Amino acid sequence: MPLDGLLLHKLAQETNILVGGKISKVLEISESDYILQIRANFKNYNLLLSASSQYYRFHLTEKKYEYPLVPKAFTMLLRKYLEGGIIQEINTIKCDRILEIKVKGLNEIGDMEYKSLILELMGKDSNLILLKNNIIIDAYKKENSIESKRIIFPNAAYEPFLNKDKNDPTKYNEDMLYEAFNSILDAKALQMRFNGLSFKTASYIMNQKNPSNAMYKLINDKYIPYTFIDNGKMDFYYTNIGYSLLKEYSNISMMLDDIYFEKALKERVKEKSSNLAQTIKNKIKKLDEKIANLNKDLEDSMKADTYKLYGELLLSISYIKTKSSEIEVLNYYTNQNVTIPLDIRYNIIDNSKLYYKKYQKAKNAIIHINEQIEIARDEIEYFKIIQSQIENASVSDIVEIEAELVENKYIKKIEVKKKKKVKTKILTYILDDNARVYVGKNNIQNEIVTHKIAKHNDTWFHIKDAPGSHVVISKDGELSEYDIRSCAMIASFYSTYKTSSSVPVDYTLVRYIKKIPGKRACFVTYTNQHTIYIDPNDEFIKSLKETTTEY
């Protein structure tokens, strides 16, 4: 269900706990997503504002996010005008999908200023706009063209993206709604009359015995947000509108935080990694084509023994003089005649020498071609590891993968402003018995986990015969069955087999892990291993206590 105006109206009421609070920091999650850190009622809150075309929303969040090292210019502008400001009001405009946050604060010369931060939740037209006295200071998306219905540009007057023919249902009392419903015959007509109603909500209202009363209760009664299944898909709303309960939440923010976090994270990673993933895919395709061509060359080079035989047989008849382009010679190995092509420019002995040269060249080519095929296969294996890592990567993981590919000269370095070196953050799980489990999600992290963090007597886990994360558990004493199964679960989840069942996972002591000479550090060999079969379970992974270890 889209976020309709009624749900957003209720959500705005929930976030009114922030009124009177001070905006301490504006943080950028992505180009379209921001967090306002607010101190209100002696507590710290994070208010997420998303102008994403796909996952547009706002809500309080308790999730952990990664922030880019170099914020965009729009982020810096928001910081300049909003940080230190006091929130005066949080409301939706006319119960539509437009949020307005009114903020007051001192300007650079100490005078009080009043600003509004507008979040328009309109799908691909979603936007975040900063106003002063209803004049646009700046916007996430600017519009200033003849085709545009309105101007969204600095110094232009702000016009809300509203249907002026629709009414705000929250301004109607019970009698007013009863009178309005005298001329409303179906759900579509109800939507045309009032803001804030998705078709699903409007249909629910019109299917009730007393539609006006049902709508009044939706607007004014207490509510319990919940998720439900509709046509095989998970959906949600801020109150029950006739569907069987899937899961209840204590507030709307908690529900949206739960529903959108993973989806939005995957979308951000997809945006960050799409070009990288396509580059890797293209490189694998080219390597496959290269191997196919090398195999054809190898077939040609397999004629080396034939060239050697021709040279030998011609040498045995070197006394014969001929100007013919071929000669029939007895093959004394098979007692059968064989026809040998000749170069008419040369005599028999020189033709024999030519065949010996071809033999030597083909023989050397076989060695070279096999070496090239082996190199190409190693490259493909490496890129498939990268593909697997991209699938399980966070935004910061993608940055490290890019850095690795630049260092190995697979992609060109993009010149950016110099930044201070940031420590690598290793995903770390703390098990119920306080054992720490380190997870490498790219080759840089795998190198750190296995060869720098891990001690010789720690236990190392890896998916069997497939790309996956290096997982190391650090614990004093022997591992319990719970420890082994937990680590195997983590290793299978962060691998190419994360959606499979009965996944084989090898585990052994770190001292039995060896780098493969001549290969990249991501390739290791190991001995003395045991194998456990496990079914990956994302719910179990989510239940584990998660932190990070900086290295």
pLDDT-derived band at 37, boundaries 50, 70, 90: very high
Which is more confidently placed, 164 or 438?
Answer: 438
Same domain for 135 and 178? Answer: no
Is 520 in a helix, a strand, or coil?
coil
pLDDT at 268: 78
Is the domain of 9 the same as that of 133?
Answer: yes
Q: What is the pLDDT of residues 327-380, one digit of tens each?
A: 999 999 999 999 999 999 999 999 999 999 989 888 888 888 888 999 999 999
State the pairing for strand pair 135-139/98-106.
Answer: unpaired
What pLDDT is stored for residue 395 in this prediction? 78
pLDDT of residue 416: 46
Tell me, what's the pLDDT at 414? 57
- Which domain-ending residue is among 92, 120, 139? 139
Query: Are 173 and 132 part of one and the same domain?
Result: no
**pLDDT for position 269:** 79
Query: In terms of domains, do 19 and 130 share one?
Result: yes
Give the Cα separation of 14 and 95 in Å (integer). 14
Say how far apart CA 429 and CA 494 lie, in whole Å. 13
Check whether residue 82 and residue 174 sit in a common domain.
no
Mark whether 23 and 119 lie in a shared domain. yes
Q: What is the pLDDT of residue 45?
A: 97
- Pick from 371, 388, 405: which residue ends a domain? 388
Per 3-state DSSP, the chain is made up of helix, strand and coil in percentages (nearest 5) of 40, 25, 35
Same domain, 128 and 178: no
Amino acid at 273: S
**For the residues 141-152, what does the mean pLDDT come to?**
76
Q: What pTM does this model have?
A: 0.67
Q: Average pLDDT over the chain, rounded to whole?
A: 91
The pLDDT of 161-177, averaged and rounded, is: 91
**Could you report the per-residue pLDDT of 473-525, keeping only the tens digit for each?**
999 889 999 999 999 999 999 998 988 999 999 999 999 999 888 787 778 99
What does the pLDDT look like over 190-234, one tens digit per residue?
999 999 999 999 999 999 999 999 999 999 999 999 999 988 888
What is the C-alpha to C-alpha distance for residues 344 and 451, in angstroms, rounded to an integer?
65
Residues 431 and 535 in one domain: yes
Mean pLDDT value across residues 418-429: 78
- Is 454 in contact with 510 (CB distance < 8 Å)? yes
Would you say residue 544 has pLDDT above 80?
yes
Q: Is residue 23 part of a domain?
A: yes
Q: Which of 122, 139, 156 is the last residue of a domain?
A: 139
Task: Tell me which residue has tokens 């890019």.
Answer: 402
Over residues 261-306, the pLDDT tens digits come to 888 877 877 777 888 889 999 999 999 999 999 998 888 777 888 9
Same domain? 88 vs 128:
yes
How far apart (Å, rounded) are the C-alpha atoms in residues 107 and 420?
A: 31
73 domain-assigned? yes
9 and 131 co-located in one domain: yes
Q: Tell me: the pLDDT tens digits for 450-474?
A: 999 999 999 999 999 999 999 999 9
273 domain-assigned: no
Can you give the pLDDT at residue 363? 84
Q: Is residue 402 part of a domain?
A: no
Residue-level pLDDT at 146: 58
- Which is nearest to 274 in space by CA: 285, 284, 282, 263? 282
**Is the separation of the CB atoms in 154 and 132 below 8 Å?**
no
Q: With 70 as the cut, is the pLDDT of residue 448 above it?
A: yes
How far apart are the C-alpha atoms of 175 and 211, rounded to whole Å? 12
Q: Which domain holds residue 204?
A: 169-250
Residue 152 DSSP symbol: B
Averaged pLDDT for residues 408-435: 78
Q: Is 271 a domain residue?
A: no
Predicted confidence (pLDDT) at residue 131 exceeds the cutoff of 90: yes
Look up residue 223 and give its amino acid: Y
Q: Are residues 33 and 111 in the same domain?
A: yes
Q: How far is CA 380 from CA 285, 289, 385, 466, 551, in A?
A: 9, 11, 9, 13, 29
Binned at pLDDT 50, 70 and 90, residue 31 comes out as: confident
pLDDT score recorded for residue 149: 72
- Residue 310: inside a domain, yes or no? yes
Is residue 400 domain-resident? no
Lookup: tokens for 325: 């382009």
Residue 187 lies in a domain: yes
For residue 421, name the pLDDT band (cuts at 50, 70, 90).
low
Count of domains observed in the chain = 4
62 and 184 belong to one structural domain: no
pLDDT in tens, 47-91: 999 999 989 999 999 998 888 878 899 999 999 999 999 999 999
